[in-house]
């Protein structure tokens, strides 16, 4: 693999208060060096005799590779973040920023505060879109190795000294102000639009139970907290639940293999929520059975462990039921 150098995205001569000299030095000596080192390291890694290399050395090399790769990606984005007037945001990105930060002013204050906090140190401030959450977020990375998995940065501000000291000396504040005056929002918006076309990581799909409604553990927790009249049924298999020290507070255990024995104890006027260990099968099957019998039943996705993962309240397991 040989990484290709990306041409400068912004036109340095058009920038306001940031000179071509600064951009050229940055592009050549920092971005270029990172790309060159990345290519040299990649060649070394590809030729590496793993049998003759200590795992420790290999790990260090891979760590360097991550740093360098991130450095090239972030520098490319940095240069692509400049070249506009920084003030007027096109409608789509403005709406998205207002949606996720309350207002453009609030976003700007947060972004500048993060940059100011990095002055005197080094790192990156990023505006990123997270497909999973469908929202924008400001991020701060104190070196090249810290990136948000699944986040797609659409704007980057380089707060390493090399990005400004030639011209701004230690005056990071002036540099930040100059950067803000040069943001190319039209380009940021196109990246935002591209990012929103990236599919989020796929959620678990259970084709087998696609017609059976489900609820999340957060929803069940909120229903219980609100005192909603739900019948919460722990249908973990007996061989599993009998060994388990705990169960969801507010649930009753019922043997999933003997639904016919306990179905008559349920009320048809109140919703039923079933769950099993992880939420894959038993809870879903039981909910399907109950629905077929006319109950307003659904299964809790993620099951017992999802509940534990949100730190939902538990009690000691009670197997007092004869059902």
17 closest CA partner among 76, 78, 86? 86
Distance CA 295, CA 259 (A): 13
Distance CA 166, CA 159 (A): 13
Select from 76, 100, 158, 234 the one that contacts Fe ion (CB under 5 A): 158
256 closest CA partner among 237, 274, 284, 272? 237
- What's the CA angle centered on 76, arms 28 and 39, to 5 degrees? 65
Segment interacting with Fe ion (CB under 5 A) among 12-20, 93-101, 150-158, 269-277: 150-158
Contact 306, 273 (CB under 8 A): no
Contact 188, 153 (CB under 8 A): no
User: Least CB distance from residue 165 to Fe ion, whole Å?
Assistant: 11
User: Least CB distance from residue 16 to Fe ion, whole Å?
Assistant: 20
**What spatial distance separates the first Cα and last Cα of the chain, rounded to whole Å?**
63
Q: Is 159 helix (H, G, I), strand (E, B) or coil?
A: coil
146 binds Fe ion (CB under 5 A): no
Select from 30, 42, 116, 145 the one that contacts Fe ion (CB under 5 A): 30
- A 10 A CB-CB count for 45 gives 16
Segment interacting with Fe ion (CB under 5 A) among 53-61, 84-92, 126-134, 162-170: 162-170
76 binds Fe ion (CB under 5 A): no
- Residue placing its CB nearer to Fe ion in the complex, 139 or 220: 139
160 binds Fe ion (CB under 5 A): yes
- Residue placing its CB nearer to Fe ion in the complex, 161 or 219: 161
Segment interacting with Fe ion (CB under 5 A) among 42-50, 157-165, 216-224, 253-261: 157-165
Segment interacting with Fe ion (CB under 5 A) among 44-52, 153-161, 172-180, 267-275: 153-161
Chain residues that interact with Fe ion, rule: CB under 5 A:
30, 158, 160, 163
């Amino acid at each position: 693999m040989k990484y290709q150098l990306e041409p400068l995205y912004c036109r340095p001569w058009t920038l306001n208060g940031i000179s071509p000299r600064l951009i050229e030095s940055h592009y050549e000596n920092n971005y270029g060096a990172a790309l060159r080192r990345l290519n040299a390291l990649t060649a070394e890694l590809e030729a590496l005799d793993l049998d003759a290399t200590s795992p420790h050395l290999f790990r260090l090399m891979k760590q360097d590779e991550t740093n360098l790769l991130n450095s090239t990606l972030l520098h490319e984005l940095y240069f692509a973040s400049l070249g506009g007037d920084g003030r007027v945001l096109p409608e789509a990105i403005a709406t998205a920023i207002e949606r996720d930060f309350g207002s453009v002013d609030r976003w700007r204050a947060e972004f500048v505060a993060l940059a100011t906090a990095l002055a005197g140190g080094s790192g990156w401030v990023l505006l990123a879109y997270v497909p999973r959450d469908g929202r924008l977020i400001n991020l701060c990375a104190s070196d090249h190795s810290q990136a948000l998995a699944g986040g797609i940065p659409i704007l980057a501000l380089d707060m390493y000294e090399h990005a400004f000291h030639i011209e701004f000396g230690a005056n990071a504040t002036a540099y930040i102000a100059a950067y803000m005056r040069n943001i190319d929002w039209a380009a940021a918006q196109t990246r935002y639009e591209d990012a929103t076309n990236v599919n989020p990581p796929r959620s678990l799909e259970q084709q087998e139970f696609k017609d059976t409604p489900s609820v999340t553990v957060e929803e069940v927790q909120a229903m219980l907290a609100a005192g909603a009249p739900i019948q919460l049924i722990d249908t973990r298999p007996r061989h599993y639940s009998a060994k388990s020290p705990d169960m969801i507070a507010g649930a009753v255990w019922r043997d999933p293999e003997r639904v016919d024995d306990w179905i008559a104890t349920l009320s048809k006027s109140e919703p039923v929520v079933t769950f099993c260990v992880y939420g894959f099968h038993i809870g879903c099957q039981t909910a399907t059975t109950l629905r077929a019998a006319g109950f307003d039943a659904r299964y809790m996705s993620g099951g017992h462990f999802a509940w534990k993962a949100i730190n939902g309240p538990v009690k000691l397991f009670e197997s007092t039921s004869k059902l």
